[in-house]
Amino acid sequence: MTRNTPQSSGRRLEDSIAWAVRNADGVVAIGAALVIGLLEVLGPNFNDNVVSGATLLVLAALVFGSLTERRRRLADIRTATAGTNRAIEDLAMVRTLAGAEVGLAHEHARRNTARWVYKGGTGTYLRAVTLPECVIEAQRGRRSLSMKIDIVNPADDRVCAAYARFRRTFGHRPDGRAPGEWTTERTRKEAYATVLAAAWHRQRLDTLEVDVHLSSVAPTLRFDLSDAGLIITQDDPRRVSLYVERGRPLYDYYVTELHQSREQAVKLDLRESTPLSDEPTVDEVRRLFDRLGLPLPTTLTDRDVGDIIDKALRAEDPYRG
């Protein structure tokens, strides 16, 4: 049972007084109609005044009903306005990023983060900057690091062809020039290189936990989620990127969305990976992919495998220059 306290009673009185002031015209009308109506009904000329008195009472009731409806509508408007304000607040927490702001946002996100979730095409920037820099930060802070990587499946010709077609159509370099030719073969090599980089870094940091997921859907956006926030970028760096702070509903929505995406992809168990040298050999790399259940195609020559090794350990930052 709810107990009325002096404070709650005082608040109700204040609300009632405020309501009466806001609706003074109606309150006065009700009061006047009630007084006059009662006087005429109960007055000495009862029979003559009963009709007019009853009419005034009815009018008073109508005014009261109108004021009650007005109060209810004002409460509904306040409720709707509060919801709109919250929605505007949440949208205001989605910031746009352009030019050097993208790199600065990534740099800020890498500091002191214990997790990184990536979803994109082949993970070039991830190999070139994010993965090695996050490892360095984890080593410097003597802490664990969890990374979840979701890229296209290099063994799926259909998705590699679709992603290459997308990059040829929409991808551009930071200087505005068209990028190097994207082919199905290049897409496959880039994706294999990301898997190799993940396995190589994992073997050099005991506190690094890396999960690699291979998707059969070609993405059009790239997602980088850290403890600080979510960064959404595109393959064309000339276009605006987005940043969502952690703690906002949209951040939580994407945590769930990215998780569901990984659940529908093929997961590699990097715990089964074979040892890799500081400078992996072609044979080591072939054995690694065989052990992971992702054997390299027989069409890939030793020179092609060497190219994959270079892309894995010496990837070029696509945003530089």
Whether the CB-CB separation of 308 and 193 falls below 8 Å is answered with yes
- Domain range summary for the chain, segments of one domain joined by +: 12-80, 95-313
- How are strands ordered across the β-sheet holding 115-119? 94-97, 241-245, 229-233, 222-226, 115-119, 145-152, 208-215, 266-268
What does the pLDDT read at residue 38? 62
Looking up tokens 């015209």 gives 25
Q: Which of 195, 236, 225, 243 is nearest to 319 (CA)?
A: 236
Q: What is the CATH number of domain 95-313?
A: 3.30.870.10
In this structure, the number of other CB atoms found within 10 A of the CB of residue 300 comes to 19
pLDDT (tens digit per residue) in 172-186: 555 444 456 899 999
What does the pLDDT read at residue 1? 53
Q: How confident is the model at residue 239 (pLDDT cuts 50, 70, 90)?
A: confident
Residues 80-94, mean pLDDT to the nearest whole number:
59
The pTM for the full model equals 0.71
Element (H, E) at 170: helix 157-170
pLDDT (tens digit per residue) in 12-48: 777 666 666 566 556 655 665 666 666 665 655 555 5
Cα–Cα distance between 3 and 192 in angstroms, integer? 68
